[in-house]
Amino acid sequence: MSKLLSPVSLRGLTLRNRTVVAPMCQYSAIEGFANDWHFVHLGRFALGGFGLVIVEATGVVPEGRISYADLGLWKDEQIAPLARIVDFLHGQGAATGIQLAHAGRKASTPVSWHTPEDLASEERRRAVGYEHWQPVAPSAEAHDPANPEFQVPTELDKAGIQRVKDGFVEAAIRAEKAGFDTIEIHAAHGYLLNQFLSPLSNHRTDEYGGSRENRMRLVLEVTEAVRAVWPEDKPLLVRLSVSDNAPGGWTPEDSVALAIELKARGVDAIDCSSGGMAQGRIASTAAYQVPFAQTVKQGADIPTMAVGLLGDIEAAEAILQRDEADFIALARGALDDPNWAAHAARVLDQDYDLWPVQTQRVSGRDRVLGLRA
């Protein structure tokens, strides 16, 4: 069996393989509630054989959403629609995760396909769940002053920081009630926890700003608080922007230092992405972020997830064989091919076991066409 398709365990969770669907915002919720779009969107990846499917960035408080159309888990009523999705994914053999998030100063931004004309009437605004609010951040500085979509946020005071921590904890408790197998704390892509980490966005002078130790404080406090309420036998993940990809910003060396501290607090794997600050620039090419996963894996001695244009099956297998990462995560690649994991099994192992029984006639078709032995 290939390494990509081999089972792997984190704490008490065993994944059927090392393929992961990364969180992808769908901008299709109203008041934070999952609906049939989310059910079908996520369910198809379980049918396609992925080992772990992670639900999109889910706001831990209402003002923590990237947009008014994001999922949320700030109230108990939001549990049941997510539990329905979890139950279906489990029934198809996939493990389920949810990314808990706070957008910080990148909150209350538009949904790209809802034009001003679409939102001209109150009736239409209600139909799409339109809301607008004042974002919060470590410092009162807009993400990108040149872009009017980003507001100048309110600087978080101590009470506001406590609200953030409480939001993550309460959302984690609800995620457990919904039946999720793992949580991913979102500390990447220029959102709130990343904003505290980066010297490009954090200009505080209290214990949450200044030195790297201080800028790491909120991420570590959130992690400790979530780990305390998350079941001991369930793994905890953190997504990092390993580099801001910008001069004077957060670096891979900083991420290694943070990953060491996260591991000490019960984090089981790091999902290694990059960027998110307006100043950041990096050329996107196939597998361009794999070196970040390798750096964190080797430097912190912790399992890592590689993500970023990884749709080539043989290349994904080679990344794992070279021990550059422990998991392969797809986002846009999974949208393009929801059956990617099942196709990988066909290519690497001549195996059709990942196809649901209702779809295993694919095997006979491939035999007739000479695509399998």
Structural domain boundaries of the chain?
8-368
Task: Choose the catalytic residue: 191, 208, 288, 352.
Answer: 191
**Residue 373 predicted with pLDDT over 70:** no
Average pLDDT, integer, range 191-208: 98
Amino acid 216: pLDDT: 98
Q: Which residues contact 233 (CB under 8 A, 6 or more apart)?
A: 11, 12, 13
Amino acid 372: pLDDT: 74
Whole-angstrom distance, CA of residue 190 vs CA of residue 184: 16
Question: pLDDT (tens digit, 9 = 90+) per residue, 327-340?
Answer: 999 999 999 999 99
**By the 8 A CB rule, do 269 and 327 touch?**
yes
Question: pLDDT (tens digit, 9 = 90+) per residue, 299-329?
Answer: 999 999 999 999 999 999 999 999 999 999 9
Give residue 223's pLDDT band: very low, low, confident or very high (50, 70, 90). very high
Give the H or E element holding residue 20: strand 19-21
Q: Tell me whether residue 68 is one of the annotated catalytic residues.
A: no
**By the 8 A CB rule, do 197 and 250 touch?**
yes
Q: H-type helices in the chain, by residue range?
A: 36-47, 79-91, 122-128, 158-178, 192-197, 212-215, 217-229, 252-264, 290-300, 313-321, 332-336, 340-349, 361-368
Average pLDDT, integer, range 60-76: 98
CA angle 18, 350, 347 (to 5 degrees): 65
Is-above-0.95 flag for pTM? yes
DSSP result, 86-145 = HHHHHHTT-EEEEEEE--GGG-SPPPTTS-TTTTSSHHHHHHHT------EESSS--S-T
| Six token digits for residue 236 | 């905890």
8-368 folds as TIM Barrel (3.20.20)
Cα distances (Å, whole numbers) of residue 185 to 2, 224, 344: 29, 11, 28
292 Rama class: left (phi>0) / alpha (psi -120 to 50) / beta = alpha
Mean pLDDT (the chain, rounded) = 97
Q: Is 362 helix (H, G, I), strand (E, B) or coil?
A: helix
